[in-house]
Amino acid sequence: MILVTTYDVLAQIGNPTPEAPPIADKILQFVRYLTWFVLLSGICAIVYAGGKFAWEKWSGGGLESPKMVAGAMIGGVVATSAGTIMNAVIG
């Protein structure tokens, strides 16, 4: 009885057409800017870590920069895959 009534009520509801929110364009533009910022900061981190690695090799100091290079590369992979996933989800 309750199930039949529920089906009857749900059958009367129209099929709404999907509509983008009013600020969807600005949000997508912000996400694109953020993606560029993340990728550029990753490139800067790799260049900085490479310079520091060369300085440590030249001066004979401890080698901490290979960890920085690895971290920057892992961060770049995560950032790049996150952008691809978001593009697939958003459309």
The pLDDT tens digits of the residues spanning 7-66 come to 778 777 777 788 888 898 898 899 889 888 888 888 888 888 888 888 888 887 777 777
Angle at Cα 53 formed by Cα 52 and Cα 56, nearest 5°?
85
Q: How far is CA 90 from the centre of its chain?
A: 12
pLDDT of the residue at 33: 92
Global pTM exceeds 0.75: no
pLDDT of the residue at 16: 74
Tell me how far apart the alpha carbons of residues 33 and 40 are, in angstroms, rounded to a whole number: 11
pLDDT of the residue at 26: 92
